[in-house]
């Protein structure tokens, strides 16, 4: 959902992905993929949809997680979309690299190749 929300993907979402603490038991839900993660606070932001408040990862965390959980091809498409500046936002490459280091994902070579 987050990649679609930030318009970082052209892929059709087939299921919802929900992050839960690594130590907790993963609930079963139809059309839902549960990801057990250790670092849920990095890049976490709140989002209000109608009268409901939920949590979502920010753009940079979504890009790094794409490299962790999606195919290389999908992750590279996500990174390309992230690196395109628009009127509303500019890519924060230093924040992206900081998140990647914290989550132990080496995306620097891909960033260098695309910039």
Stronger pLDDT, 12 or 82, i.e. the higher one: 82
Least confident interval from 1-5, 37-41, 51-55, 77-81: 1-5
> What is the average per-residue pLDDT within 9-18?
78
Give the pLDDT band (50/70/90) at residue 23.
Answer: confident
Strands 16-21 and 44-49: unpaired
For residue 20, pLDDT beyond 80: no
**Range of 96's domain?**
2-114
Total structural domains within the chain = 1
Strands 32-37 and 16-21: parallel
What is the total residue count of the chain? Answer: 115
Stronger pLDDT, 49 or 94, i.e. the higher one: 94
For residue 64, pLDDT beyond 90: yes
Buried b (16+ CB within 10 A) or exposed e, 76-107: bbbbebbbeeeeeeebeeeebeebbeebebeb
């Amino acid at each position: 959902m987050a990649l679609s929300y930030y318009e970082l993907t052209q892929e059709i979402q087939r299921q919802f992905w929900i992050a839960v603490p690594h130590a907790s038991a993963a609930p079963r839900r139809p059309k839902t993929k549960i990801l057990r993660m250790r670092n849920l606070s990095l890049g976490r932001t709140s989002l209000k949809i109608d009268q409901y408040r939920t949590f979502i990862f920010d753009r940079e965390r979504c890009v790094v997680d794409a490299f962790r959980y999606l195919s290389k091809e999908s992750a590279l498409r996500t990174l390309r979309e992230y690196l395109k500046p628009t009127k509303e936002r500019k890519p924060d490459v230093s924040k992206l690299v900081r998140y990647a280091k914290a989550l132990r994902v080496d995306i620097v070579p891909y960033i260098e190749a695309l910039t």
